[in-house]
Structure 1
Amino acid sequence: MLKLKRYREVIFTSILDFLIVLASWFVFHSFYPNTMNILIQDFNLDFISGGIIISFYWLAIFVVMGSYKKLYLVSRLDEFIKVLKASVLGALILYFIININESISISEQRMIIITYWATIFVLLALNRFIVRTIQKYYAQRGKGLHRTVIIGTGQTAKAAYDDLNRNKILGMQVLGFIQVNGKAPDPETGITEEDVIGNLDQIKEILEERQVQDILVALEPDRRQDLVDVISKVDAPEISLKLLPDFYQLVSGLSKTNQIFGMPLVEISPEPMPLWEKTIKRAFDIIVSAVVLLLTFPFLILIGLAVRLTSPGPAIYRQRRVGRNGKIFTIYKFRTMLDNAEKHSGPTWAKKDDPRVTKLGYWLRKLRVDEVPQFINVLKGDMSLVGPRPERPHFVEQFSKQIPLYTRRLRVRPGITGWAQVKWKYDASLDDVKEKTKFDLFYIENASLRMDAKILINTMITVIKGKGQ
């Protein structure tokens, strides 16, 4: 239900965009009928099918450029800039496609693409302006607001509640307050016990039962130590989490805030990588994995035979791991330990000079060759080349209780290698896991293709130097 509400605006906006782009095709054709006929005939298309295909082309451009992210009560100026960026990119790509046709002069090509771009841009910008204006009109009258809970029961929380009630344009309908410290609210704040709908330990049940869409964290300045615990317990990807900063956080410049009609909010976003980068990242994962598996296939057969001959047991070790959004998948590795190594001990960490590791397994680990079968997981989409290492369900459950924000690692696909792997050693204790979690969280908040490239280069250097364990 929440996902449907979340994507309703995206579906509505994308359908409108499709119809606008299709209308632009007909409008533009009235100016350049002969030229457009030549272009679509090059691809053996009739006029109608050509218009439909190019409309889907524009939708793809809008998706890649992030035009459908954060549509709820977005600033009309921001909407204008989004449309401008997407339309310019789409027009430039079409310009190079038109250049293939030698029957059209260069000057005419430029005029065609400028006129078509202007038609698309004007109609789309006008459409978005009208839709956002109507959306704000209804929000001012308390319609279509996001269901919101406020975490905190102090003066800051009450001030936020009053501000949201006075300014419906902020787009939030407050359902109630969530207690953090378990104490009854101070009567001086104006918050009664009836206004409190639960405590922080009940947050998951409250979010599900009340179909919450936004969470506003409004803690008192002297309760900052509770912030990590709050963020850890409200880790819900489909729900927008916003933090109301205090004066010192604002003037320090340490927090990036969004000015939403006079109310400064820090939006905690776990996925800074834009869609076009994520698309390239996934395409790179597929290409590299396919190439590696094809080129190394004969060697993988030989390694598998060597594992079978040097110690009893299967060549490929299969194990259940926790992937993106908590999905369980089976990971593949060359077996480097004795068969059933954890039969009597249960799940345990690998350690330096581990007696369970076979002689061949030692060298496979040293050169990271034991990880190669995981390229199959990358092809299947369970993993990526770069990301936090996937952990077993037993340890995920354990670490989630002991390490704040640990579950935020599950926001992205796990990887064969990651920032924590190139910056920290293998896990040997809970303290090691805590340190690696810091690196994993840093990666998630700063993920980019550039950072992925840096991690892959460092990993290759580690492999060449034989520093694996």
Structure 2
Amino acid sequence: MNRVTPKLPGSVRNENVERNLAPSLERRRLRAYALMMLADGLLIFFAFALAGWVWEAVWAHPRTMLAANALLPVYYTIALYNGSYGLTALSDWLFAVRKAMVGLAISAGLINLIAFYAKSNDDFSRASVTLALLFTAIFVITLRRAMALLIRRRWKGRIINRLVIDDGGSGFPSPDAVVISAAEYRLDPASHDPFMLDRLGKLLRNQDHVVISCPRERREQWAFLLKSAGVYGEIVSEPAQSLGAVGVHHYDALDRTTLVVSTGPLGLRARITKRAFDTLAAAGGLLVLSPILIAVAVAIKLEDGGPVLFVQRRLGRGNQFFDMYKFRSMRVEKLDHDGSRSAARDDDRITRIGAFIRRTSIDELPQLLNVLKGDMSIVGPRPHALGSQANNKFFWEVDRKYWQRHSLKPGLTGLAQVRGHRGATELEKDLTDRLQSDLEYIADWSLLRDLEIVLRTLMVLKHENAY
């Protein structure tokens, strides 16, 4: 295996990659879902209020509005689970109408059943409720058609980002995809060059579907990179067991079949939940710990007059680089920006204040800013510097699966840390133990486990391997 020197610059200019960065259509879709939900709720109330006026000659008659209040939460629950607010509902308005009508019918049936057994049918006007449901159906159908026209006009009908990487395969002539050449961007799936992986990570950012067209002998290598990047990835190929395919996708209009080889570790709801937890925890942590942060910053400045923060490039989600913040714990003239030398006991580079904040893990607290920026999570695999080594080997040389730990955002703490896998990586086992814990965390993520790891972290802030 050829040794990769992380200090060398990438072979493709960054501005070429930046020009091909895709906007986040997921945020756009989330806003559309929220708008549809809000509009559905308003239309249901309006329809029931109108029905009260038509049948009872009273706008928003209390008996009619009582039915609307009972119907709405049931309708939302069913609609959220049957795909009424999903990707297909944005791309196919007839599908969206069918799902909404099914949700409305089931909701009305459930409310009627509950009212029957609760002997509260007399609280509702059957005629006005029936009329309200009819109005609701008309309004919702109109809304779905209007949404389709709006998407076609404002978004040009584009609701997903699809990227095709042509690496010399049979091609994938998709009219709604951006096609790039692997050769043009020096994308080599067999390479372990972190600069190449950073370029690839930037190109894959915000992509909803990634399709690789490559020769047979490179399919396994591309499948591995897609899994490591944490994206939904497909490879133009016939089914092959060695690729670890998780599904098959047929494109009848293109006369192509692809293997789905990666889907990303977390679904949309899980990512929203994790991000909400990260934001609340980081903001709360900065507020509560602000006296400590200020005191440590003043102490570092008074000790030698150097900068308070140490900024180091680390590997993050999708194997992309990001700048990680720490309190500076080493002497200015001996800072190790590449991380090629792990800290050790009695390290002559560490200041007096630095020794204390490293033992107590206080030096890591500025990473709460990274969490708020979205570069990191509260819990996840710890980010490593490019020059980090175990037994004089770069981490990716020890185990090829090292890249797969970057399918999630790195964390301020992680499962490996609470299990005691901290400190210097002198032996290869020091790295493989951490890697095993990181991959286990990614495979079995849950919010409950994040909370558990945070609580366990509080009990091991001062650790014998923290120096």
Aligned residue number for residue 6 of structure 2: none
TM-score by structure 1 length? 0.55
CA positional deviation for 1:15: 10
Aligned residue number for residue 425 of structure 1: 422
Evaluate the alpha carbon distance shift between residue 454 and residue 346 of structure 1 in structure 2; reply closer, same or farther with a 3 A threshold: closer
Alignment of 1:10-49 (within 5 A): 10=29, 17=36, 21=40, 26-33=46-53, 36=60
Q: Secondary structure at the match of 1:320?
A: strand
Aligned residue number for residue 364 of structure 2: 371
Give the total of aligned pairs: 383
Q: Deviations over 1:330-385 (max 9, x none)?
A: 43333333333237x96423233151234443342232222223223323433221
Evaluate the alpha carbon distance shift between residue 401 and residue 31 of structure 1 in structure 2; reply closer, same or farther with a 3 A threshold: farther
CA distance in 2, matches of 1:233, 1:359: 44
CA distance in 2, matches of 1:19, 1:294: 33
Alignment of 1:197-236 (within 5 A): 214-215=210-211, 227-228=220-221, 230-232=223-225
Alignment of 1:330-369 (within 5 A): 330-342=323-335, 347-355=339-347, 356-369=349-362
- Residue 271 of structure 1 pairs with residue 265 of structure 2: yes
Q: Secondary structure at the match of 2:460?
A: helix
RMSD: 6.2
Q: Secondary structure at the match of 1:463?
A: coil
User: Is the CA contact (8 Å cut-off) linking 1:214 and 1:239 kept in structure 2?
Assistant: yes
Alignment of 1:18-417 (within 5 A): 21=40, 26-33=46-53, 36=60, 67-69=85-87, 107-108=123-124, 119=136, 123=140, 214-215=210-211, 227-228=220-221, 230-232=223-225, 240-242=233-235, 256-257=246-247, 265-272=259-266, 274-308=267-301, 311-314=303-306, 316-322=308-314, 323-324=316-317, 329-342=322-335, 347-355=339-347, 356-392=349-385, 404=400, 406-417=402-413
Aligned residue number for residue 461 of structure 1: 459
Report which stretch shifted further, 349-358 or 429-438: 429-438
Q: Deviations over 1:305-329 (max 9, x none)?
A: 44455x4244733213344456655
CA distance in 1, matches of 2:161, 2:367: 45
CA distance in 2, matches of 1:284, 1:237: 20
User: Is the CA contact (8 Å cut-off) linking 2:383 and 2:410 kept in structure 1?
Assistant: yes
Evaluate the alpha carbon distance shift between residue 3 and residue 270 of structure 1 in structure 2; reply closer, same or farther with a 3 A threshold: same
Q: Secondary structure at the match of 2:400?
A: coil
Q: Secondary structure at the match of 2:211?
A: strand
CA distance in 1, matches of 2:345, 2:98: 57
Gap regions ≥5 residues in structure 2:
1-19, 66-71, 112-119, 149-159
What percentage of aligned pairs have identical amino acids? 23
Q: Deviations over 1:385-409 (max 9, x none)?
A: 112223345669x766886365555
Q: Deviations over 1:430-466 (max 9, x none)?
A: 8344553454344344433123123223322322666
TM-score by structure 2 length? 0.56
Evaluate the alpha carbon distance shift between residue 152 and residue 84 of structure 1 in structure 2; reply closer, same or farther with a 3 A threshold: farther
AA aligned opposite 1:452:
D
Q: Deviations over 1:179-236 (max 9, x none)?
A: 9xxxxxxxxxxxxxxxxxx98579989x98xx9954268987xx79x72565227966
Q: Deviations over 1:105-126 (max 9, x none)?
A: 9955999799769947995799
Gap regions ≥5 residues in structure 1:
42-53, 96-103, 132-143, 180-197
CA positional deviation for 1:421: 2.6
Aligned residue number for residue 139 of structure 1: none
CA distance in 2, matches of 1:199, 1:302: 48
CA positional deviation for 1:178: 9.5
Q: Which structure has more helix as a fraction of its residues?
A: 1
Q: Deviations over 1:275-306 (max 9, x none)?
A: 33333333332333333333333333344444
CA distance in 2, matches of 1:430, 1:352: 14
Evaluate the alpha carbon distance shift between residue 342 and residue 411 of structure 1 in structure 2; reply closer, same or farther with a 3 A threshold: same
CA distance in 1, matches of 2:443, 2:101: 27
Evaluate the alpha carbon distance shift between residue 461 and residue 384 of structure 1 in structure 2; reply closer, same or farther with a 3 A threshold: same
Q: Secondary structure at the match of 1:376?
A: helix
CA positional deviation for 1:268: 0.6
Aligned residue number for residue 450 of structure 1: 448
CA positional deviation for 1:417: 0.7
User: Is the CA contact (8 Å cut-off) linking 1:228 and 1:404 kept in structure 2?
Assistant: no
